[in-house]
Structure 1
Amino acid sequence: MTTALFLAHEDDRSRGRAEAGSLAVAARTRGFEVVVAHPSDDLPRPETVDFVTVLGSAHAADDDTLPWLAPERAYIAETLAAGTPILGVCFGGQVLSRVLGGVVDRSPHPEIGFVSVDSSCDFIDSGPWMQWHFDHFTVPPGATLVADNAANAQAFVSGRNLGLQFHPEITAGSFAAWRLGWTPESEVEVARDFDIDVDALARRITSDAADLERRCARLLDGFLAL
């Protein structure tokens, strides 16, 4: 069996596994053994896995005070050197951009909830994708912008690697795992600042589950075909 490594950033490893969402489901369906690890864990040699997915985080991808971020960046650089493909999701896309020479900083247009994306890539649908970010990345040197909107670059391809600003993996279970780390006050702030009803958003994720999973699986197939 081939192996897909997912890097999650929760200290609670069970939450990290939940946050892998429909990307992990699609990978298993395609015959991969899914391994979910924290960047501080004893990670496998990059050449022994088939691809690496770097998931989101509540932390900032340019916060170099995080004790595990420098080792994670080094592991991503090692993975790139080994030729093992990387799929970066939100925080993961930002870290991938940094390692490839791009820049991550505070976005003047943070995006919360389902936000429309324009895609020039045949495996990334145009239309709404789940977003939850306050920072953004630049497209790194030599990479190709394949999706964007008026606020931010949304996806880039660099060789066999794909960086995303949005969350194709979102499921009811992964969203519930996100919410475990939030306070009631933070949900009130989101409702106030972004006009987002978090409970209604959770219901939409549940009601749209089949379509979200289909689009996520198509994106994963396109990434694997790079």
Structure 2
Amino acid sequence: MKPTVLVVQHEDNCPTGWFGDWLTAAGLELDVLEAHRGRALPASLGDHAGLLVLGGEMGANDDSTTRWLAPTRALIATVAAGGDPFLGICLGHQLAAVALGGRVEPNPHGHGQGLTAFGPTPAAASDPLLSVIPAGAIAVQWNNDVVTALPAGATLLATSPDGTVQAARFGPRAWGVQFHPEATPANFRSWTTDKPSAAAPRADGIDIFAVADAVEAARHELRRAWEPLARRWARVVTQSARP
């Protein structure tokens, strides 16, 4: 029987993307919980072998407008405390930081710029997950908020070029990444050029059409860079699920 991962999805245009394909190819089953469509969050993993929390346009503290964020944070805290495998992507990473006592705020350096170099810290060299990713690998970052204070006991594993938290380990088997290893070029366009507001110039000056074209051009490089991360996390999940 294949280990099954519970996946919390927040929006239709923020699916598992490439990451889901890589996880299933590595031998995992995915149980996608579409929280935005009303599916209730469980209090614990139950029979699931791990938890993956995806990104979304809402903020990690937007409880008044996004009712499932509080139970998502509670589930993350339970999973991390129990030593079960967890991975948070973008919003999922920020939710983990808040759930465990850290802080998330708007990035004082401005909005994420799209293709961004991975900047591992020395701690990443021995990390069970991030050690597989070389310094300078390009990632997709598209976010307003960042983790401005890590929870007590967390380990900083990577920083973005602007110095903000890019990846962290929150526990023995719990990680968060600010970037989007799952994002296909089509996913990225759904966040940018495919929006009704795309024709209007952005206040921050970002040319979303140029950025989307750059993400498209980097398709193969992105896949080469981030499939190993998915496979390494799948190994963590599989090993933890063994009796």
TM-score of the aligned structures, taking structure 2 as reference length:
0.80
In structure 1, the residue matched to 2:47 is 48
CA contact (8 A) 1:21 1:173 kept: no
- Local SS of the residue matching 2:81: helix
In structure 2, the residue matched to 1:126 is 135
In structure 2, the residue matched to 1:69 is 69
Superposed CA offset, 1:38-77 (max 9, x none):
2341446414112211111111112221211112112222
Gap runs ≥5 in structure 2: 125-130, 237-243
Q: What letter corresponds to residue 178 of structure 1 in structure 2?
A: W
1:11-160 residue pairs with structure 2 within 5 A?
12=12, 15-16=13-14, 19-39=15-35, 40-43=38-41, 45-65=44-64, 66-110=66-110, 111-120=112-121, 121=124, 122-127=131-136, 128-137=138-147, 138-149=149-160, 150-158=162-170, 159-160=172-173
Aligned-pair identity in percent equals 32
- Please, which of 167, 186, 195 is the counterpart of residue 206 of structure 2? 195
Q: Distance in 2 between matches of 1:154 and 1:46?
A: 26
TM-aligned CA distance change 1:32 to 1:225, over 3 Å: closer
TM-aligned CA distance change 1:124 to 1:102, over 3 Å: farther
Q: Distance in 2 between matches of 1:76 and 1:125?
A: 28
Higher normalized contact order (CA 8 Å, seq sep 6+, divided by chain length): 2
Q: What letter corresponds to residue 153 of structure 1 in structure 2?
A: V
Q: Deviation of residue 224 (structure 1)?
A: 4.4
Q: Distance in 2 between matches of 1:102 and 1:8?
A: 22
- Please, which of 163, 166, 172 is the counterpart of residue 179 of structure 2? 166
CA contact (8 A) 2:114 2:215 kept: no
Q: Deviation of residue 123 (structure 1)?
A: 2.2
Q: Distance in 1 between matches of 2:205 and 2:193?
A: 20
Q: Distance in 2 between matches of 1:34 and 1:109?
A: 36
CA contact (8 A) 1:101 1:141 kept: yes
In structure 2, the residue matched to 1:4 is 5
Q: What letter corresponds to residue 215 of structure 1 in structure 2?
A: A
Of residues 108-117 and 76-85 in structure 1, the stretch that sits farther from structure 2 once superposed is 76-85
**Greater strand percent: which structure?**
1
Q: What letter corresponds to residue 151 of structure 1 in structure 2?
A: G
Aligned residues: 218
Superposed CA offset, 1:119-147 (max 9, x none):
13222332232111111112221011010
Q: Deviation of residue 79 (structure 1)?
A: 2.2
Q: Distance in 1 between matches of 2:225 and 2:176?
A: 16
Superposed CA offset, 1:167-210 (max 9, x none):
1111123224434873325x6344x52432x2333333333222
- Please, which of 189, 192, 216 is the counterpart of residue 206 of structure 1? 216
CA contact (8 A) 1:4 1:27 kept: no
Q: Distance in 2 between matches of 1:46 and 1:180?
A: 37
